[in-house]
Structure 1
Amino acid sequence: MTHALLLVNLGSPASPQVGDVRRYLDQFLMDPNVVDLPWPLRRLLVSLILIRRPAQSARAYESIWWEEGSPLIVLSRRLQEKMQAQWTQGPVELAMRYGEPSIEPVLLRLAERGVDTLTLAPLYPQFADSTTTTAIEEARRVVAKHGLKFEINVLPPFYDQPEYLDALVESARPHLQESFDHLLLSFHGLPERHIRKLVKDAGHDLRAADSHGVSDEVLACCYRSQCLRTAELFAERAGLHPGQWSVSFQSRLGKDKWIEPYTETRIDELAAQGVKRLLVMCPAFVADCIETLEEIGDRGRDQFIAAGGEELALVPCMNDHPRWVTALAQLCRRAAQAI
C-alpha cells in the first residue's frame, strides 16, 4: 500500500500580471462556497468585480512578489519538501484549490504512481466552507470524475490542537520577546451568513467577546468561535495577560455584513488608545501571502502610522518553521490512522 499526503492551500495567480490575476479571481469568486449566491447572480456580481478589481489586486501582488514567484507557492513548496522527510509512507504532494498546481492533475499523477491511500491535508486551522469544504469537495469531484480508487481520509481543522498551538507560539516567540504595546491576532474574515447557514442555534452570538460557553456542536461549525478559541489558547500558552492582546478579522469583500471586529477598525482604535508599537499576527494562515504581507505588512502599517502609531511589526506565519513541520506531520499521521 502506498499512502500519499496531499497538502492543499488556497492558491495564487500565476503572475502579478492583470490577466493572470483576473483568471485567478474569476475561478476563486465563482466558487459557490466562496460567493454563495445562485449562479446567475454570482456570475453578474463577479463580472462586475472583475471590471476594476484585477488591476488593483495586480498592483498588490506586484508589491510582494518574490523573484522565485508567489510567496504563498514558494513557502508552501518549502513546507512540502520538509514534510517529505517526515512522511515515510509515500509521496508528499502540494496542490492549490485555485490556480496552479491544481488538485486534478496532482491527483492523477498520484494515481499513476500507484497510490491507493491518500491523506488530504487542507492547510486551514479553522473550519469554513470557503476553505476546508471546497478543497475536500474538489478532491472528491476529481476522484469521482476519473474513477480513482483512492481511499481518502482528511486532516480535520486543528485550531485547538496542542501541536499546532505550540508551533504557533514557538514561531512567534522571537517577536513576543521584543518590546511591544499590544498584539493583534488578525484572522481572515467571513460573511456572517456563512456561519448562520451552518450554526443551528439561533441564539448563537456572533458579537461574543470570547468562546467561553460555546457548545461543542456550535464550535464545530462556527469559524468565528474557532478563531477566538485559537487566540485564547495561544495567549494562555504564550503567557499574555488579557489586556495585552485582542482579536480582529480582515479582508472584507463587498457590502455584506462580515464578522467583527474589523482589523482596519481595530488598528485605528489601538492607535487612538496610545499604542505605539503594535504586533500583528495572522493565525488563520500557515504561510505568508498577499493577505499578510501586503494587507497587513504594507497597508496595515501605513494605516497605523497615519493614525498616530509608530511601528507595526508583522509576525511571520509559521511557513516552514521546524516546529510547524513536526507538528503538521504529527497531525497528519493521526488523521491517517483514522482510515
Structure 2
Amino acid sequence: MENNKKALVLLNMGGARRKDELKLFLTNMFNDKNIIAAPKLIRKMIAFFITTSRLNSAWKNYEEIGGFSPLNPLTEKLVDKVNENIKEYKTYQVMRYTPPFAKDVIEDMKKDGIEEVVLLPLYPQFSTTTTKSSLEDFKAYAKDSFKIKTKGTFYKNEAFNKCIIEEIKEKTNSQAGEFNLIFSAHGLPQKIVDKGDPYEKQMNKHVKILSKMLEEEGQNFKSINLAYQSKVGPMKWLDPSLDDMLENFKDENVIIYPIAFTVDNSETDFELDIEYREIAEEIGVKEFRVCKCVNDSDMFIEAIKDMIKFK
C-alpha cells in the first residue's frame, strides 16, 4: 500500500456529526452554485436565511436518529473495506459539504505520493446538483496535481443492481406479491430538470432496469412505482411526491427502496424510516418497510471493483 501511486476517491455530499457541522452543511449546500443558480452575493444571503431559519428544526430530526448522520461511520467502513479488497488503489473519501473536504484530502494525497486518481461519485444517477458539483469541487482544488479519470453514473451496472435486488428480496421475505414497491428518489426542482439535468430520465431508466431484474427473479410485486421525497419550498418539484404516492396504498403493504442513495443518511434513516412512516400510518398503510442502502456490503465492494474497470 505504501508504494501505491494510484488513488480511488469516493465522492459524496457529507453528513453532520453535531449541530455546528449541520450548520456548516446547510451553509455550504445553499452556497453551491449548482444548487442555487444566483450571483454569489445573493446566494450567500439566501444560504444565511435558509440556514438560520432551518437549523434548529433540522437538528431536532438528527436528534431522533442519535445526533449524527449514519453516512459518516458507514462511509468510513466502506473506505476500510475497499482498501482491504482493492489493493491496486489507495482509497479516500471526499465530502462536498462537511469534512473531509477535497482541499484537505488532496493535500494528504500529495503527501502520500499519489500520481493517478479515479473519481467515483457515489450517486447512481447523474445530476448537476450532486455528481457535477462533487466533480467540479475536487478538480478545482486538484488543478494539475494528478492524472484524473472519472467514473460517471453506475445505475446500469449489473453488479450494483444485484445489490439492490438482494436487499429488496431480503426485506420482502419471499412475499413480494403482498407488497407495493416504491423506489423513492431525492427530489429536484422541476426548473433544474427543464434546464437539461438528466436525473429524472436516468431515474426512470433505472426503475425499468430494476423492475425487469425483479421480474426475472420471480419477484412479482402488486405494483412498482417511482416517487420523489424531500421537497422544500413553494416551487414545483419532480412528481409524484412520496406523500401523494402513499395515498394510493391505504390498507396495503408498502416497501420503500431509497434509489438515489448508496449510503444511508438522514434522508433514509429520518425522512423515510421515521417521517414517512408516520405519514403512512396516518393514511392507513398496513405494513411499511424501508430497505437499507448498499452501504459497505460485500456485494457493493464487488460492484465497485466492476465499476472502476477501464475497458
Work out whether the TM-score is over 0.5: yes
Are the equivalent residues in 2 in contact too, given 1:122–1:132 (CA < 8 A)?
yes
Q: Distance in 2 between matches of 1:114 and 1:40?
A: 38
- Aligned CA-pair RMSD: 1.7
Q: Distance in 2 between matches of 1:36 and 1:299?
A: 29
Q: Distance in 2 between matches of 1:243 and 1:35?
A: 39
Q: Which amino acid aligns with 1:264?
A: D
Q: Which amino acid aligns with 1:313?
A: R
Using the TM superposition, give the Cα deviation of residue 261 of structure 1 relative to its aligned residue in structure 2, in angstroms.
Answer: 0.7
Match of 1:196 among 194, 197, 211: 194
Instruction: Specify the alignment match of 1:74 in structure 2.
Output: 73
Match of 2:234 among 255, 267, 271: 255
Instruction: Specify the alignment match of 1:53 in structure 2.
Output: 54
Q: Deviations over 1:52-97 (max 9, x none)?
A: 211111011111137xx53001111111111112322231111111
3-state SS of 1:160 partner? coil
Q: Which amino acid aligns with 2:193?
A: I
Match of 1:230 among 181, 196, 206: 206
Q: Which amino acid aligns with 1:279?
A: I
| TM-score normalised to structure 1 length | 0.85
3-state SS of 2:96 partner? strand
Are the equivalent residues in 2 in contact too, given 1:97–1:135 (CA < 8 A)?
yes
Q: Distance in 2 between matches of 1:187 and 1:112?
A: 38
Using the TM superposition, give the Cα deviation of residue 256 of structure 1 relative to its aligned residue in structure 2, in angstroms.
Answer: 1.8
Instruction: Specify the alignment match of 1:11 in structure 2.
Output: 14
Q: Distance in 2 between matches of 1:270 and 1:52?
A: 34
Are the equivalent residues in 1 in contact too, given 2:180–2:221 (CA < 8 A)?
no
Using the TM superposition, give the Cα deviation of residue 172 of structure 1 relative to its aligned residue in structure 2, in angstroms.
Answer: 2.5
Q: Deviations over 1:209-242 (max 9, x none)?
A: xxxxxxxxxxxx5111111111111121112447
Instruction: Specify the alignment match of 1:279 in structure 2.
Output: 255
Q: Distance in 2 between matches of 1:223 and 1:107?
A: 28
Q: Deviations over 1:88-133 (max 9, x none)?
A: 2231111111111111111110111111000011000000011000
Q: Distance in 2 between matches of 1:75 and 1:12?
A: 11
Using the TM superposition, give the Cα deviation of residue 279 of structure 1 relative to its aligned residue in structure 2, in angstroms.
Answer: 0.6
Deviates more, 1:54-63 or 1:221-230: 221-230
Are the equivalent residues in 2 in contact too, given 1:14–1:99 (CA < 8 A)?
no
Are the equivalent residues in 1 in contact too, given 2:179–2:222 (CA < 8 A)?
no
Q: Which amino acid aligns with 1:77?
A: E
Equivalenced residues, count: 303
3-state SS of 1:294 partner? helix
Instruction: Specify the alignment match of 1:305 in structure 2.
Output: 281
Are the equivalent residues in 2 in contact too, given 1:301–1:311 (CA < 8 A)?
no
Q: Deviations over 1:148-203 (max 9, x none)?
A: 2x0001111011121221121123221133534211110111111212222xxxxx
| TM-score normalised to structure 2 length | 0.92
3-state SS of 1:130 partner? helix
Q: Distance in 1 between matches of 2:205 and 2:285?
A: 28
Deviates more, 1:232-241 or 1:72-81: 232-241
Instruction: Specify the alignment match of 1:154 in structure 2.
Output: 150
Q: Distance in 2 between matches of 1:237 and 1:323?
A: 16
Using the TM superposition, give the Cα deviation of residue 257 of structure 1 relative to its aligned residue in structure 2, in angstroms.
Answer: 1.2
Instruction: Specify the alignment match of 1:314 in structure 2.
Output: 290
1:170 matched to 2:166: yes
Q: Which amino acid aligns with 2:271?
A: E
Instruction: Specify the alignment match of 1:206 in structure 2.
Output: none
Using the TM superposition, give the Cα deviation of residue 136 of structure 1 relative to its aligned residue in structure 2, in angstroms.
Answer: 0.6
Are the equivalent residues in 1 in contact too, given 2:21–2:98 (CA < 8 A)?
no
Q: Which amino acid aligns with 2:114?
A: V
Q: Which amino acid aligns with 1:36?
A: A
Are the equivalent residues in 1 in contact too, given 2:181–2:221 (CA < 8 A)?
no
Instruction: Specify the alignment match of 1:64 in structure 2.
Output: 65
Instruction: Specify the alignment match of 1:205 in structure 2.
Output: none
> Structure 1: any 5+ residue segments left out of the alignment?
199-220
Q: Which amino acid aligns with 2:49?
A: L
Q: Distance in 1 between matches of 2:198 and 2:172?
A: 28
Match of 1:330 among 286, 295, 306: 306
Q: Distance in 2 between matches of 1:20 and 1:158?
A: 30
Q: Which amino acid aligns with 1:244?
A: S
- Distance 1:317-1:223 versus aligned 2 partners, 3 A rule: same
Q: Distance in 1 between matches of 2:306 and 2:172?
A: 25
